[in-house]
Structure 1
Amino acid sequence: MKLLLPARRLRAAAATVSLAALAGTGLTGCATGPAAPTAVLSAAVPLVLPNLDDSAGRCPALGADGERLSDDALAACHDAADERVSGPEDALDLAPLEVAAVPDAGEAAYATVTVDAAAAPYTRLFVRDGDTYTPLGPDGRLAADRLRAGVHLALEATDPVRDPAVWDGTIDVTLEVTDGGRTARDAARLRVAPLILTHDLLPLDRLVISDNGTSPQDAEREGYDPTRPAAPVEKGEDVFRTELTAALEQAGLEGRLMEYPTGGDRWMRDQFITGYFAVPTPDGGVRRMSVLLRSADVMPEGSTAEFPLRDAGRPAFSVLRGPGTAVLQEYTAERVGDGERAQLWGSFSSTGNFLVAPPDEQWPAGRVLYGSDGGDAAPDAAFVRLLEAQREQAPLAVDTSWLGVGHIDEFLSFVPAGTPRGWAAVVADPERGLELAESDDPAVLAGTRLAVAGVDAALEVLRTELALTDEEIIRVPALFERLEVPGYPRQDIVANALPAVVNGVETGTGTGTFLAPDPRHAGFRAATEEAFAAAGASGVAWVDAWEYAFAVGTVGGDLHCVTNALRDLSAAGPWWEK
């Protein structure tokens, strides 16, 4: 297996006594003494999973007093939060290390195994005896009797990299063996696995939709079954559910809907974005852990130090976290309580504002894209820093400040296609939309001019950064109107005047179906289907989300906004191979 970061030996030669070191001892350079001890530390794989799932299902949603845990306390519970290994599945999330036997170690011999100072707060070492894992003491000391037989160790990572200025993810483990007054050293360098966000070419496993009738708090107190169909409670929800179910069946994905309790916050894509950790296993396989990265959206009303984030993000922990599934959150605490700023700028932190361009030769894990103008119209800085710290998907900002909501998924998505890369970008085409709609509404005419400029600027970034070509762009009609929002800090902004065809869900390579919001315009549907067919892309299954998503509030949303996709991670190739 070709590895990006091979298991590096930072071996120090077996210690020998130099002439300088012998000065003043009464010994000479010709003197002989006991042989220097040997020290051999081996790492079977060079990468370590952040052990943040809940293998035993022991993380509670409520405190001992029956009250809701704070957001931070909810996130603090996971397998690496204590000094125990919760069964055989949990043990597989640890990286094996071996201290080679020193059969002739003297009675007074000992060894120490330590982790470098930068990595120590984010790691833990265990001594493994069969199925028993015992934390290595703080001094890292191993007695002579253990040395003689060799020692099995297991390394646990307790967090991913969040800020490279604090820790860059490198883990240097050092072995020192002391015997007869002499010391030998060996070391192994490992790296914590990065968080890789999923792209839409991966096959759809489950499509998550909002249970609007059950609140996150009710789910925490009473438990929740995500396989139980929820009763529609919002206007148009019954139509949306019926048509979405039919579209999934058309794609050969019957029974793939999953419920998620939001209490009416229907914008599922804004609650979390999906990803994974993955490492090679000693036998040449791949060990993966699904990750849900909670939105850093601080709400303009009701946010407190205990509950700073959007409440509908909490069921990621209480409902979805479990064996093989971790949940992360990262946000800037200083934003809490700044209601005015959250009201005006907070939408950029919603996870609907993040997409992943699929893999290619330049970006084998894909590339994260997000909407930002580089100033106030930008996502939470700590959230973006976490994504940048992973080093594999080089997050790229695309200016979306011309959009009322400001989300990149309002004009861009990706689908499998007959191109050399195997995929294409689906991009909103305001001019084609205006032509098909035959509108002379001044708000639409002004919106079209603003949207054309915004889309063109975004495409220029993608052409430069992703080497995107015209043959890799599928243009679909879109109709935009200029918004008049008195007192809002961003003017000359637009919203979709018809459901945004581009704001759909790709079911992934193999199904050949793009689930698209129905614009209720025959010309838009025909032009979209023709553009997809010409590019050798997916077929299109139309879903009516007009009343449930598009017509909600001042701006509304579409199909991508009110769903979230859990992808089949077994189709994700090893990110480290290239």
Structure 2
Amino acid sequence: MPNIASTRSASRPLRATAIAVVTLAGTAVHLPSANAAPHAVTLIADTNRDGRLSDADLPGRGSWSDGRGALVMPNLDDSADRCPTLGDNGSRLGDDALAACNDAADEQVNGARDALDLAPLRLAALPKLGPGAYGRISVNHTAAPYTRLFRRHEGGLPTPLGTDARLTADELRSGVDLALEARDLVRDPKVFDGLIDVTLEVVDGDRVTRDTARLRVAPLILTHDLLPVDRMVISDNSTTPESAERHGHDPDVPARPVEKGEKTFRGRLRAALAEAGLNDRLLEYPTGGDRWMRDQFITGYFEVPGPAGTPRRMRVLLRSSDVMPEGSTRAFPLRDAGRSAFTVLRGPGTAAVQQYDTGRVGDSERSKLWGSFSSTGNFLVAPPDKRFPAGRVLYGSDGGQAAPDPTFTQLLQAQREQSPLAVDTSWLAVGHIDEFLSFVPADTERGWAAVVADPALGTDLLRKAGASGLLREKSVLEGNHLATAGIDRALDLLADQLGLSNQDIVRVPAIFTRLEVPGYPRQDIVANRLPAIANGVATGTRTYLAPAPHSHAGPDGRDVFERATETALSAIGTRVAWVEDWDYAHAVGTVGGEIHCVTNALRDLSAAPPYWRRTTGTPLLSETD
């Protein structure tokens, strides 16, 4: 949490009909269907999503829908650890050059693990072809720049099919195994909507026959906080990103605490994770002092069907699109600490992706005045429910200047699975949605609850404890009033869009203060005066990590905010583990932050059910979109 200063374009699918004969440049063209004769041209993809190719994939292979249609993984990890961290002359790679390297950036398959990230295709054998017959494989025009075809070989790695993509009569007679590579995820559906039509055309004398299989690039699914923590990522403040690029960095080696309160914070975080049953889970990430780990990237994954019904997943780190107000250049436009997602964490099974508006680079005044709405700490995922089986992305915005990078939110919208929703956070100084909201598991019909900051509850608890001095401060009176109005508006929106009711909300005490920042374009803004309990982290093990609130001791000697929070969360089956973060996070800079701001989490993806196995929810894609 930084200081304030700081349409579908593809053609319609071929539909299953009896063999049709049309005229193409004076030649008879036969378009076979699933009911065609055994010798008809047949191109098979994993249409039924069971992780293998079989006759069960034949029906509907030329179309794609929510319930049926093949998927292909965006091949953006680094399976062979070949991506460089420095240029040939030893200079730092620019941000775009750093992000450009991945398994799909070259024209070869980088080992057996990389081969698993390609989608299998099979051309059924055509034993009755004449001696001069040949085949051509093509990809529809809009998808061609984002795909690559390979020939699969038994006992060896796939090899590029070549630009002419021609197949001989002998190859066609025995059948051909192919593999399709997706070279990127969908970023702008007006350019590429993710639908890929692979067409086999066979020429045998004056007879031309075709078949098409339609696939879709797997969407990026952002993780939600009900998934168990696999590793908790914290800032290695003693190592700069450049040092890690030049000399390497072991994320499992504990860093040397260098910041005020850092040793205490690390110790209490480690103990809290142990309380949650998560021992030895800390992962070091070099930032050079930019401790706001949640602002560097947000985690997600790609997912496709795998063998024996087990999905194959690729972890994705989506880098913040935050163009910083100081030092932004064309070569290095983004927050420097975000680079470590590529240089330290990217590797086999882990991709790193960035997306930002180049038009914002160099606009230091805008970045300075409008804050860090593009930071990934401003993005949350409401857990899955009946309407949104993969969860729903929430982010803070006022719909105008105080908003994230539009190309970043466009990328999220283009995945067409988690329906990003803007929530008005213009009343918050930094504007991040995690300053008043988080999510935990709950023993309710929904299965989870929203943890929401409540200034009225905080005020009432302090009054009853005889600690009214703070409440008489003008800035606190005004701050609580502004925050209450902003939170109420947010809850009205979540009630409308997510169906949240009072039983789905756990209110935790909070105290806000109004800030006055001369010359800043947003006024009537607030920050948490005491550590924000709502700015915590659910571990996925029924334990919620919360910042020690430092409110006031009650009659039993316990902090009254702590006692109230434990009571509220225990009622829904969630425990609380308290973490001391005042010096390391809360009291830093103009507004500070809390646990959610200074940590990130790599979640256990095996706990997420495959997104395509859904029985309810809004359609992902349909023929009429």
TM-score by length of 2: 0.87
Q: Is the 8 A contact 1:11 1:186 kept in 2?
A: no
- For the aligned residue pairs, the C-alpha RMSD in angstroms reads 1.8
Deviation at 1:13, TM superposition (A): 5.8
1:361 is aligned to: 386
- The question of 1:115 aligning with 2:139 is answered yes
Q: Secondary structure at the match of 1:348?
A: coil
- Deviation string, structure 1 residues 101-123 (Cα, Å, up to 9, x no partner): 11122121011111100111111
Distance (Å, rounded) in 1 between the aligned partners of 2:477 and 2:317: 40
Distance (Å, rounded) in 2 between the aligned partners of 1:193 and 1:283: 19
Q: How does 1:126-141 map to 2 (within 5 A)?
A: 126-130=150-154, 131-141=156-166
Q: Secondary structure at the match of 2:372?
A: helix
2:6 is aligned to: none
Q: Which of 527, 533, 538 is the matching residue for 1:495?
A: 527
- The question of 1:478 aligning with 2:506 is answered no
Q: Is the 8 A contact 1:430 1:479 kept in 2?
A: yes
Distance (Å, rounded) in 2 between the aligned partners of 1:291 and 1:17: 45
- The question of 1:228 aligning with 2:253 is answered yes
Distance (Å, rounded) in 2 between the aligned partners of 1:154 and 1:12: 27
- Deviation string, structure 1 residues 123-157 (Cα, Å, up to 9, x no partner): 11101122231212222211111111110000000
C-alpha distance 77-21 of structure 1, shift in aligned 2 (>3 A): closer
- The question of 1:428 aligning with 2:453 is answered yes
Q: Is the 8 A contact 2:130 2:204 kept in 1?
A: yes
- The question of 1:458 aligning with 2:481 is answered no
Q: Is the 8 A contact 2:27 2:208 kept in 1?
A: no
Q: How does 1:177-576 map to 2 (within 5 A)?
A: 177-437=202-462, 438=468, 439-508=471-540, 511-521=541-551, 522-534=559-571, 536-576=572-612
Distance (Å, rounded) in 1 between the aligned partners of 2:592 and 2:294: 13
Query: Given residue 592 of structure 2, which amino acid in structure 1 is its aligned partner?
Result: G
Distance (Å, rounded) in 2 between the aligned partners of 1:10 and 1:281: 27
Unmatched runs of 5 consecutive residues or more in structure 1? 1-7, 24-34
Query: Given residue 326 of structure 2, which amino acid in structure 1 is its aligned partner?
Result: E
Deviation at 1:498, TM superposition (A): 0.1
1:30 is aligned to: none
- Deviation string, structure 1 residues 294-330 (Cα, Å, up to 9, x no partner): 0000000101000000000000000000000000000
Q: Which of 87, 108, 111 is the matching residue for 1:63?
A: 87
2:96 is aligned to: 72
> After alignment, is 382-391 or 126-135 more displaced?
126-135
Q: Which of 73, 88, 92 is the matching residue for 1:49?
A: 73
Distance (Å, rounded) in 2 between the aligned partners of 1:211 and 1:22: 67
Q: Is the 8 A contact 2:517 2:523 kept in 1?
A: yes
Q: Is the 8 A contact 1:213 1:231 kept in 2?
A: yes
Q: Is the 8 A contact 1:517 1:543 kept in 2?
A: yes
1:39 is aligned to: 41
Query: Given residue 100 of structure 1, which amino acid in structure 2 is its aligned partner?
Result: A
2:67 is aligned to: none
Distance (Å, rounded) in 2 between the aligned partners of 1:288 and 1:381: 27
Q: Is the 8 A contact 1:81 1:158 kept in 2?
A: yes
Distance (Å, rounded) in 2 between the aligned partners of 1:574 and 1:165: 27
Q: Secondary structure at the match of 1:409?
A: helix
C-alpha distance 36-252 of structure 1, shift in aligned 2 (>3 A): closer
Q: Is the 8 A contact 1:37 1:179 kept in 2?
A: no
Query: Given residue 578 of structure 2, which amino acid in structure 1 is its aligned partner?
Result: W
Distance (Å, rounded) in 2 between the aligned partners of 1:284 and 1:552: 48
4+ runs of 1 displaced by more than 3 Å?
8-18, 20-23
Distance (Å, rounded) in 2 between the aligned partners of 1:138 and 1:37: 27
Deviation at 1:520, TM superposition (A): 1.5
Q: Is the 8 A contact 2:111 2:157 kept in 1?
A: no
- What is the number of residues matched between the two proteins? 557
- Deviation string, structure 1 residues 245-293 (Cα, Å, up to 9, x no partner): 1111111111001100000000000000000000112532201000000
- Deviation string, structure 1 residues 10-64 (Cα, Å, up to 9, x no partner): 567657588x9699xxxxxxxxxxx997311000240000000000000011011
Distance (Å, rounded) in 2 between the aligned partners of 1:413 and 1:36: 57
Distance (Å, rounded) in 2 between the aligned partners of 1:538 and 1:256: 20
Deviation at 1:436, TM superposition (A): 2.2
Q: Secondary structure at the match of 2:179?
A: strand
- Deviation string, structure 1 residues 64-89 (Cα, Å, up to 9, x no partner): 11111000000000000011111111
C-alpha distance 285-36 of structure 1, shift in aligned 2 (>3 A): closer
> After alignment, is 110-119 or 433-442 more displaced?
433-442
C-alpha distance 9-228 of structure 1, shift in aligned 2 (>3 A): farther
Query: Given residue 38 of structure 1, which amino acid in structure 2 is its aligned partner?
Result: A
Distance (Å, rounded) in 2 between the aligned partners of 1:179 and 1:17: 16
Query: Given residue 563 of structure 1, which amino acid in structure 2 is its aligned partner?
Result: T
Q: Secondary structure at the match of 1:74?
A: helix
2:57 is aligned to: none
Percent identical among aligned pairs is 67
Q: Is the 8 A contact 1:36 1:184 kept in 2?
A: no
- Deviation string, structure 1 residues 158-216 (Cα, Å, up to 9, x no partner): 00100011111111111111102101111111110000000000000000000000000
Distance (Å, rounded) in 1 between the aligned partners of 2:512 and 2:193: 43
Q: Is the 8 A contact 1:296 1:383 kept in 2?
A: yes
Distance (Å, rounded) in 2 between the aligned partners of 1:73 and 1:22: 47
Distance (Å, rounded) in 2 between the aligned partners of 1:11 and 1:90: 34
Unmatched runs of 5 consecutive residues or more in structure 2? 1-12, 29-36, 50-69, 463-467, 552-558, 615-625
Deviation at 1:337, TM superposition (A): 0.4
